[in-house]
Amino acid sequence: MITIGAIYRGPELRESRLVQAVRTASEVIDGLRDQSYDDGTIPWVNPVFIVQGSLGEPGFRGLIYGKHSKRKKGVVVQIAVFEDDLRAGPDHAIIFGLQGANAMAFEFFRQKGECFPLADAEQMVATVRQRLGH
């Protein structure tokens, strides 16, 4: 399924709307996630938002695969978030990032002959969207 992470490149981001939105999204996902996710039998994605701040930039644009565990059925998708990406609002950046991470996870596991539960993951994102009011 999904578990959300974030790296904030600046202390000024601690109380930002983006950080609050990421926390909300993470809480929603945690509440919806199937417990069998935790036993490593269901393919999962860990979208990690890397947010530009006073201490630097993500070092890439868009979404890229990160390191993944070979023992567990998981893949990390890093999502670069720049100041420009927040013009439409932090909620938009989060929803866009989660949808992209789901698509990349689906393809990653498809190539391995495994089935990522895309419909369930997208339903989670839809619930996050509703909760964020987007």
What does the buried/exposed string (b/e) look like for 46-79 if buried means 16 or more CB atoms within 10 Å of the residue's CB?
bbbbbbbbeeeebeeeebeeeebeeeebbbbbbb
| pLDDT tens-digit readout, 41-77 | 789 999 999 999 999 999 999 999 997 666 678 899 9
Mean pLDDT calculated for residue range 82-87: 88
Note the pLDDT of residue 97.
97
